[in-house]
A and B are shown apart, each in its own frame.
Chain A
């Protein structure tokens, strides 16, 4: 197990390095000039050249890349081209908001999707299975921005139960929680549907297996059979999916950050790409890729920990 964990860790690091390098090069392939964006129309050619020199943008791409790698390994992500603030500080300002949004978005999916899928599988073709099936497909089919806008109109504008914009007052956790409800629902609702359908089909498969039949034959209570023996196995594909879903939620966070005017990494990287703010793009891509790699690594290790068959195969 230890060797497996180490191998996966090395793989995760390689993924981060490859993705970061690829995206670093990709942004330089894009047309566009950060000096024009940074200094505006009034800047002279000399001013632009000086700016490019100070930012190291006049150096060959390979040199810039090697410098970026060296700085990255030393923990220095550089400085924002426009605001002249350390990229690490800017990312650290935004990261907690993105993490909170992602965790709460997944929270909706886990808290509603898994029980719903489980219950639907226990009584297949029952009323709950049929209704939850329709609702799950609807949740998947409705675009997140539609959910966001309707949630805003209903809960913020009409009922005024929840705030429409922002991330809440710092040091006021209840307020921050209130500000999380609608955006996390908007990005998590689709995943509620996914998880409900996935858990249902996994459960149906597991419930038909021999060890479940044997447990029932021993007279073990149905609730224990379902939750202790069946769900433990059925939830394994869900855990793997949750690891991958972090990446989707990180990208889905962009629209939530725009619609709900929240700070976060999604909007940060979007703006940075648009304005060709190279240090910020590189830094943000590094952090989000690392985050994604960590989540998939954790999911893999958790699956290996929970499933003896996976452990045996390592």
Chain B
């Protein structure tokens, strides 16, 4: 019997064969998109991260949806007509014939009622309950028509409730059959794409929904690939394995200088906000002069250069440019003489020791080290405490123990929805010990926040948010850093569907 022989030539031939064997599908109308996390829950009432919202937008419809573009605007989606009759009532009419998958018929106003009231129902315990906190009920006036009745006016409804996850419409019949909620297997969908397959931690595949009512989806399939590390995603893009991906801030200077051939770079301002906070309940930060000294001593421009490589601009508040209520003012300049004077007035000219608590993210550590060096010049000795996310996000939570009493300085970052109320809501007095870790207690701020929620006059509302940010800065408890930037790299054959802050709108992705 002849034994098989492994020759060098055979080995090379096998290697070449393995290298050239590619899976089928290349060249078809498939969009390959990077997501920074895999989906876990796509029930709109219980999503946990932004990528799950991206996925849900493929599968479900809303009365109104965000327009792809550079300004926060909405357009009709499932609604044929929608109008606010008065601050407490919104009448809508659905497009006819929006079919549910699984033989559940077509979308009705009753589905809208079920979806909105489900999230508003405290018994359902949706974390998005707050989006519909002012909902009284949805009145069904016909198979396709209804009226949303609010208990009190709610200005953010149009920009952060109806076009966001809380505005997604589910099929009542299918949901009730499924027990009222789901995680990764929606009982019925109606969006431009249908869920074709999900391989956990590998890919989620959507296929065009042939029964979609409206402009048909442009791609046969969308493959969403969960890639946590942005650098890996950039490499995968360069290797031709992705068509669109968000990129890391660190790569931005190089990508700007040399965008890969056949690719385009989109850079948009983010609506997240980062700041340095001071716990006003703990000495010496209970003295406003100390807080203001810290505000004036930190070199924010150097932090931005070191962390964002010049890609991000300074923030003047917590409401990002492009949003109503953005504070169009000059940021605080570094002034060491003023800082020294303020510290001397507070009787702390010799300095003191304090802690700066941060999340274990490289960017934050870089920023913290600059803060440490800056405050060192004032004689303030800063100890940097680095925490993992599970620990960090409970530090200021009063219900979890006394850790909040040890908080001095914080380097924080929050993301938000495109309504200014979602930026200010965390700093009201009732959030002290919950998410208001600075424990800054301003009744005026709280009152303005409540007033702005029911104010429909845009100019008056904007003025309230500007005043609220003035108060934050004047308190000395906050030093605004930046809103960061978001960047997206895409093939020039793709016309990306993006929100103004570069978050993906997958159904709006088109061939260029």
- Which residues of A come within 8 Å of B, CB atoms? 30-34, 36-47, 50-51, 80, 82-85, 90, 93-94, 152-153, 156-157, 160-170, 172, 174-175, 177-178, 258-264, 267-268, 273-276
CA gap between A37 and B390 in the complex, in Å: 7
- In terms of DSSP, what is the predominant structure of the interface of chain A? loop
The residue of chain B having its C-beta at the shortest distance from the C-beta of A167 within the complex is B202
Assess whether A258 is in contact with B238, with CB atoms less than 8 Å apart.
no
Q: Does B183 contact A (CB under 8 A)?
A: yes
6 A-B pairs with the lowest CB-CB distances in the bound complex, closest first: A32-B390, A263-B201, A83-B40, A164-B239, A261-B227, A156-B239
Q: Does B240 contact A (CB under 8 A)?
A: yes
The digit string for B194-233, where 1 denotes a CB below 8 A from any CB of A, is 0000011111000000000000000000000111110011
Partner of A175, one of B21, B48, B403: B21
Assess whether B232 is in contact with A259, with CB atoms less than 8 Å apart.
yes
28 contacts between A and B (CB under 8 A): A31-B391, A31-B403, A33-B393, A34-B390, A36-B397, A38-B48, A42-B130, A44-B129, A46-B125, A47-B125, A51-B125, A83-B40, A85-B184, A94-B201, A157-B238, A164-B232, A165-B241, A166-B225, A166-B241, A168-B23, A169-B23, A258-B232, A259-B229, A261-B227, A261-B233, A261-B236, A262-B201, A264-B201
A187 → chain B, closest Cβ, in Å?
15
Assess whether A258 is in contact with B239, with CB atoms less than 8 Å apart.
no
Partner of B23, one of A45, A175, A259, A261: A175
Query: A168-B23, A261-B227, A275-B390 are contacts. A178–B18 as well, Cβ < 8 Å?
Result: yes
Residues of A within 8 Å of B183, CB to CB, are 83-85
Residues of B within 8 Å of A51, CB to CB, are 125
A157 → chain B, closest Cβ, in Å?
5
CA gap between A172 and B24 in the complex, in Å: 10
Assess whether A267 is in contact with B201, with CB atoms less than 8 Å apart.
yes
Partner of B127, one of A39, A90, A262: A39
Query: Which B380-412 residues sit within 8 Å CB-CB of chain A?
Result: 388-391, 393-394, 397, 399-400, 403
What 19 additional pairs, Cβ within 8 angstroms, besides A40-B127, A84-B183, A152-B239? A31-B390, A31-B400, A42-B127, A43-B127, A83-B184, A84-B41, A85-B183, A156-B241, A164-B232, A164-B241, A166-B225, A178-B18, A259-B229, A261-B225, A261-B233, A262-B201, A263-B199, A263-B201, A275-B390
A299 → chain B, closest Cβ, in Å?
27
Query: A45-B399, A47-B125, A166-B202 are contacts. A261–B232 as well, Cβ < 8 Å?
Result: yes
B51 → chain A, closest Cβ, in Å?
13
CA gap between A161 and B390 in the complex, in Å: 40
Residues of A within 8 Å of B201, CB to CB, are 93-94, 262-264, 267-268
CA gap between A31 and B403 in the complex, in Å: 10
Q: Does B22 contact A (CB under 8 A)?
A: yes
Partner of A156, one of B128, B130, B202, B235: B235
Q: Does B85 contact A (CB under 8 A)?
A: no
Q: Does B19 contact A (CB under 8 A)?
A: yes
Partner of A157, one of B239, B394, B426: B239
Assess whether A30 is in contact with B391, with CB atoms less than 8 Å apart.
yes
B141 → chain A, closest Cβ, in Å?
30
Residues of B within 8 Å of A177, CB to CB, are 18
A170 → chain B, closest Cβ, in Å?
7
Residues of A within 8 Å of B394, CB to CB, are 31-33, 36
The size class of the interface chain B forms with chain A is: 35 or more
Residues of A within 8 Å of B400, CB to CB, are 31, 33
- Which residues of B come within 8 Å of A, CB atoms? 18-19, 21-23, 40-41, 48, 122, 125, 127-130, 183-184, 199-203, 225-229, 232-233, 235-236, 238-241, 388-391, 393-394, 397, 399-400, 403, 426, 435
B15 → chain A, closest Cβ, in Å?
9
Partner of B200, one of A84, A90, A166, A259: A90
CA gap between A198 and B131 in the complex, in Å: 63
Query: A40-B48, A47-B125, A263-B200 are contacts. A33–B227 as well, Cβ < 8 Å?
Result: no
Assess whether B229 is in contact with A258, with CB atoms less than 8 Å apart.
yes
Assess whether B18 is in contact with A82, with CB atoms less than 8 Å apart.
no
Assess whether A162 is in contact with B19, with CB atoms less than 8 Å apart.
yes
Assess whether A41 is in contact with B235, with CB atoms less than 8 Å apart.
no
A50 → chain B, closest Cβ, in Å?
6
Assess whether B125 is in contact with A174, with CB atoms less than 8 Å apart.
no
Partner of B227, one of A93, A165, A274, A276: A165
Query: A36-B393, A263-B202 are contacts. A41–B232 as well, Cβ < 8 Å?
Result: no
B28 → chain A, closest Cβ, in Å?
14
Residues of B within 8 Å of A85, CB to CB, are 183-184
CA gap between A56 and B496 in the complex, in Å: 44
CA gap between A94 and B200 in the complex, in Å: 8
Residues of B within 8 Å of A50, CB to CB, are 125
CA gap between A160 and B129 in the complex, in Å: 48
Residues of A within 8 Å of B435, CB to CB, are 41
Assess whether A30 is in contact with B390, with CB atoms less than 8 Å apart.
yes
The residue of chain A having its C-beta at the shortest distance from the C-beta of B399 within the complex is A45
Residues of A within 8 Å of B125, CB to CB, are 43, 46-47, 50-51
The residue of chain B having its C-beta at the shortest distance from the C-beta of A47 within the complex is B125
CA gap between A178 and B15 in the complex, in Å: 10
B118 → chain A, closest Cβ, in Å?
15
Residues of A within 8 Å of B19, CB to CB, are 161-162, 178
Assess whether B41 is in contact with A82, with CB atoms less than 8 Å apart.
yes
Partner of A47, one of B127, B389, B403: B127
B10 → chain A, closest Cβ, in Å?
16
Residues of B within 8 Å of A83, CB to CB, are 40-41, 183-184
The residue of chain B having its C-beta at the shortest distance from the C-beta of A170 within the complex is B199
Assess whether B236 is in contact with A174, with CB atoms less than 8 Å apart.
no
Chain B CB within 10 Å, residue with most, of A51, A83, A85:
A83
Residues of A within 8 Å of B18, CB to CB, are 174, 177-178
Assess whether B390 is in contact with A260, with CB atoms less than 8 Å apart.
no
Residues of B within 8 Å of A157, CB to CB, are 235, 238-239
Assess whether A165 is in contact with B225, with CB atoms less than 8 Å apart.
yes
Residues of A within 8 Å of B227, CB to CB, are 165, 261
CA gap between A163 and B19 in the complex, in Å: 9
Assess whether B241 is in contact with A163, with CB atoms less than 8 Å apart.
yes
